[in-house]
Amino acid sequence: MAISPPEFQITSAHRVACDGGEGALGHPRVWLTVDPDRGYVECPYCDKLYVEEDRAQAILASMGLSQAG
């Protein structure tokens, strides 16, 4: 069984909120800060990546992902 690639969102904000995006099936809302050195942050609940807009192409390519995601 193939592992699906991680869900990601490109953002221009340095602070983002994640609630799992699935209503009652989501998770508690958490506020995350994009790491300035890495250019992204990963939600500790659902593993969704929030990627800094200015560096998204390079970061996603290094992870084997594309912006078409």
Q: What's the CA gap between 24 and 22, in Å, rounded?
A: 6
Domain range holding 27? 8-62
Number of domains in the chain: 1
pLDDT tens digits, one per residue of 2-43: 778 889 999 999 999 999 987 778 899 999 999 999 999 999
Is 1 domain-assigned? no
User: pTM of the prediction?
Assistant: 0.87
The answer to whether residue 35 is domain-embedded is yes
CATH of the domain at 53: 2.60.260.40
**Is residue 68 very low, low, confident or very high in pLDDT (cuts 50, 70, 90)?**
low
2: in domain: no
* Residue 22 located in a structural domain: yes
Q: Amino acid letter at 35?
A: D
